[in-house]
Amino acid sequence: MFTEVSRASFKQEADRLRLPYRDLNIEPPGYDDEAMSLYLIEQLVCYVIELEGQVIGGAVVTLTGQDYGRIDRIFIHPYRQGKGIGKQALQSIEKLHPTVRIWELETSTAQPNNVAFYRAAGYQSVFESDEEVCFVKRVQQRTDYMVLRYEERSITGAQAYGVDASRVSITNSNVSELQASNCNFTKSQFRNINFRETEFDDLNLSGSQYRFVTMYESGRPTTFFHTNLTNTIFENCRLDGVRIEDSSIDGLTIDGVNVKDLLEHHRKETGGMKRYE
């Protein structure tokens, strides 16, 4: 039901506006995909909004540390909109996370009603473009714990050596052109991150997982050189246009078919006798 209501809500708005481009605030990635819903439920904080025993909406929240929260998406079934349910849902989310001091969210400029709604709910716009408005809401919360906070300050060009930065939480920050070497990132989480044109060299990624990751955009392919992908699993992935050249393919299968055997058969059928050792 979570996916079904999400699909009804976002698709109805997209159909109503009929924009000449895809607005990710109106059609967020995977809003109609069961696999994406399962990922959100497993990895983030998701809420189901019910009324009279029926699922009529939902919300997805990202929490970073104890102080920062992001409303990734919130939706109400079209038949139930305009009844104050969204406002109650936002208020309930805040109450459920009493340590969060800064909430953020985004909405499309093509949705003036949403812009007005969030402003009425206490959110202040901190950035506006032709396509989106970014909001922040600061909540005065009592904190009974000690934690170092670095908020809205610049440390551009800073250098660190021998620093214990374990369990550090970073959100809504510019970390472009970061240089990190000989560091331990074990069990770290990188979510909703822009890694365009980033280099990953001499890394140990054993045991890592990649979910809903884009490796091709605007003609910029991702390349792997001298990379060990032994026993890697690709499941429910888009591999259109993938090229594998001059690589070991022992045990490589596609839908249970051994690729080496398949290539050997192809070579024989076409007159070529190249063997893959």
Three-class secondary structure assignment of the chain = CHHHHHHHHHHHHHHHHCCCCCCCCCCCCCCCCHHHHHHHHHHCEEEEEEECCEEEEEEEEEEECCCEEEEEEEEECHHHCCCCHHHHHHHHHHHHCCCCCEEEEEEECCCHHHHHHHHHCCCEEEEECCCEEEEEEECCCCCCCCCCCCCCCCCCCCCCCCCCCCCCCCCCCCCCCCCCCCCCCCCCCCCCCCCCCCCCCCCCCCCCCCCCCCCEECCEECCCCCCCCCCCCCCCCCCCCCCCCCCCCCCCEECCEEHHHHHHHHHHHCCCCCCCC
Section 17-37 average pLDDT: 93
Whether this prediction's pTM lies above 0.95 is answered by no
- pLDDT tens-digit map of 74-101: 999 999 999 999 999 999 999 999 999 9
Rounded CA separation 242/221 (Å): 10
Average pLDDT, integer, range 184-194? 91
d(CA 186, CA 203): 11
What is the pLDDT confidence band of residue 267, given thresholds at 50, 70 and 90? Answer: confident
pLDDT at 125 over 70: yes
Residues 100, 68: contact at Cβ < 8 Å? Answer: yes
Distance of alpha carbon 64 from the chain centroid: 13
Q: How far apart are CA 34 and CA 76, in angstroms?
A: 18
| Crossing angle for the helix pair 112-120 and 85-96, to the nearest 10 degrees | 50
Phi first, then psi, for residue 4 (nearest 5°) are: -60, -45
* Residue owning tokens 């699922």: 55
Residue 145, pLDDT score = 64
In this predicted structure, the answer to whether residue 274 has a pLDDT above a threshold of 70 is: no
For 124, other C-beta atoms within 10 Å of its C-beta total 11
